[in-house]
Amino acid sequence: MNVKVFVNNPFQENTYVVSLPDSHRAIVIDPGMSNEREWLQVKAYLEENRLQVERILVTHCHIDHLMGTGYLAEWCNAPLCGPIEDEHKLPPSSLQFRMFGLPSSSRIVTLNSNVNEGDLLHLDTSPIQVLDIPGHSFHGLCYYFPEQKMLFSGDVLFYCSIGRSDFGPNMGCDGEALVNGIQTKLLSLPAETKVYPGHGPATSVLQEINYNPYF
């Protein structure tokens, strides 16, 4: 499995392009491209590798993970998948931009395909399991590739840290629920599972069991 990361927008968010080495099928996880330059870097990679985006996966609906949805929507017809209830419960994107002191953007488009915990998705024939861990937002979807032992954790689990839970209840924050969800759903995955977070460097389940101060 090929995993290409692009670090985008003022929040230094990780946008992932995941593809199979023996095909041209791909998914994009958390498209956070905030301007034309960032989008053109992602677009160039997709075109140079002749990748066909099968679907766009969103972990949660905070703006830093959605800023590039409009660019992709204009470029391809892939479904934009994620937790629609999270989108509905959170403040609208225009308000989220103001909360973080950023100019509003019209590049964010709404999700058009709902994803829930327990859903089984695929990249070609590779299964993708969906886990939902609230606490950073109302829903925090993690996408787990069991055959490759890879986890895309969004803003749930980071390298030796966890997602912030201090933005307030209107942003879906609940620190206790976040820690409990990680312990029961993520740290029980195979220890060698590689974890690709929404911000910062990759880690592993074993690394977090041994060194994360929250557990």
Full-model pTM:
0.97
DSSP state of 116: -
Please tell me whether residue 202 adopts helix, strand or coil conformation: coil
Q: What is the pLDDT of residues 114-163, one digit of tens each?
A: 999 999 999 999 999 999 999 999 999 999 999 999 999 999 999 999 99
Tokens of 94: 């225009």
Give me the tens of pLDDT residue by residue for the chain, a chain 215 residues long: 999 999 999 999 999 999 998 889 999 999 999 999 999 999 999 999 999 999 999 999 999 999 999 999 999 999 999 999 999 999 999 999 998 888 887 689 999 999 999 999 999 999 999 999 999 999 999 999 999 999 999 999 999 999 999 999 999 999 999 999 999 999 999 999 999 999 999 999 999 999 999 99
Q: Which residues contact 182 (CB under 8 A, 6 or more apart)?
A: 133, 156, 157, 162, 214, 215
Rounded Cα gap, residues 68 and 15, in angstroms: 9
Domains of the chain, CATH where assigned: 2-211 (3.60.15.10)
